[in-house]
Amino acid sequence: MCILRADFPGREWRACRVAAVPRSSCRSRSAAPDQAALRLRLGDLAAPRVRYGYRRLHVLLRRKGRPVNHERVYRLYREDRLALGVKRQRTRVNGLRVLPPPAERPQERWSIDFLTDSLADGRPFRILTIVETVSWASPVIAAGVSLPEERVVAIPDWLKGTVKQPERIAVHDGPEFVSRSLDARA
């Protein structure tokens, strides 16, 4: 506001109109007491206890005889950046991942995966696709609003009589293929 007052000397109302600020806010001075002592005490408490959050530090301040509001402690805690950052957990690899050799002849390997889309009214539906990886032929495509694991396990069994079974089945990672009945089938 001082810069605008320099451009418009003696005309406070014009400077406030240009900045779209009410005139009452230009003249008001903060009535809040100085927080330097509280900031210093909060920093002293937080330094040896880096894992303490603002709630625990608030309790310690109250025990030391400082009647202070928890909201003020939170505001100063955030402004002074006393909070630790959230540590992300690393994903751990269980073992070496060995890629299978590529399929070279028909009916050597099928790939199974799910697709998801939605109907015109917004309801989601799922499609189970089984693709023969050499010829890209699809022996079956199963679609439904719900594909329970019993139905997913029954599809390869249903194909036994109609199509020659593959030597291997490649299943892509995903929550759909984590079930006891699929493990028992494999």
DSSP 14-61: HHHHHHT--HHHHH----SPP-HHHHHHHHHHHTT-TT--HHHHHHHH
Last residue of a domain, one of 19, 51, 84: 84
78: containing domain:
34-84
Residue in this structure with the two tokens 């189970």, named with its chain if needed:
128
User: Residue 134 CA to chain centroid, in angstroms?
Assistant: 38
Domain boundary among 50, 84, 118: 84
pLDDT along the chain (186 residues), means of 10: 59 78 73 86 89 91 90 92 80 74 85 87 89 86 83 76 80 69 65
Kindly state whether residue 128 falls inside one of the protein's structural domains. Answer: yes
Contact yes or no for 130/110 (Cβ under 8 A):
yes
Retrieve residue 101's tokens. Answer: 């050799």
pLDDT score of 70: 93
Is 38 domain-assigned? yes
pLDDT value for 2: 54
